[in-house]
Amino acid sequence: MTRPSIVLRSVSKTYWRGRQSITALQNVSFEVSQGELVLLVGPSGSGKTTLLNLVAALDRPDHGDILVDGLDVTRLSRTAAAGFRNERVGMVFQSYNLLPQLTALENILLPMVARRQSNDRRAVELLEAVGLSDRRSHRPSQLSGGEQQRVAIARALVNDPPLILADEPIGNLDDETAHKIIVLLSDACRQRGKTMLLVAHDREMIGPADRVFEIRTGSLMIMERKQTSSVSQRT
């Protein structure tokens, strides 16, 4: 039996805006097995990005436990959390988070620098895979939004992390490029045994997913794609 890669147990997260509380996640529990590709869908503000941030140890829940490969990420220090992300997580943010002073190639190599290693060949191969081999020397200001997103995707894959967290990875891409990126991410998951949580506003990317988790107003509905019944659990 495949061991769970991600485990959430009764996770809740509330934010405060002045005196008003906003519940981002409420009593969310699920398990994701190693090598699974899970699609997170739901409207804006439903809690999808919050969930990714919690799994990545960028934020902490108010209640509940989060385990990634057996490691309780909710109890990591800030330094340990940064090390965890660099060693085990590849992240694709909605806002790209590219360093403006670095070229596309240098941005992709950045996670390797943090690990005191460098592999230009790997970075160039990923640039080619996302269709940007002719943009390696361009800085973010010289790239379109879609091109910046593709650089961010290549950067997330460069260290070959076991876990990929992708927040709207094809939101700024045309249909043809979006399809190529989904194939690239899916192949990374299937061929190299990676676990992936992939966020989208709708179900346009259901094709390659093993399961679909729908989040609405902080609650989670798990849709089992490998079974005939559409809904297996509600939290």
In degrees and rounded to multiples of 5, residue 124 shows phi and psi of: -65, -40
The whole-number pLDDT of residue 225 equals 61
pLDDT of residue 234: 38
pTM comes to 0.86
Domain containing residue 223: CATH number: 3.40.50.300
Instruction: State the pLDDT at residue 135.
Output: 94
**Number of helices and strands (H, E) in the chain?**
6, 11
Total domain count for the chain? 1
Pairing of strands 195-200, 163-167: parallel
DSSP for 139-198, written as a single string: -GGGS-HHHHHHHHHHHHHTT--SEEEEESTTTTS-HHHHHHHHHHHHHHHHHHT-EEEE
What is the predicted pLDDT for the residue at 179? 80
Q: What is the pLDDT of residue 2?
A: 54
Residues 94-115 pLDDT 10s: 888 899 999 999 999 988 877 7
Q: Quick one: pLDDT at residue 161?
A: 92
Residue range of the domain that includes 37: 4-234
Sites in the chain below the pLDDT cut of 50: 1, 227-235
What pLDDT score does 232 carry? 33
Ramachandran angles phi, psi of 126, nearest 5°:
-70, -35
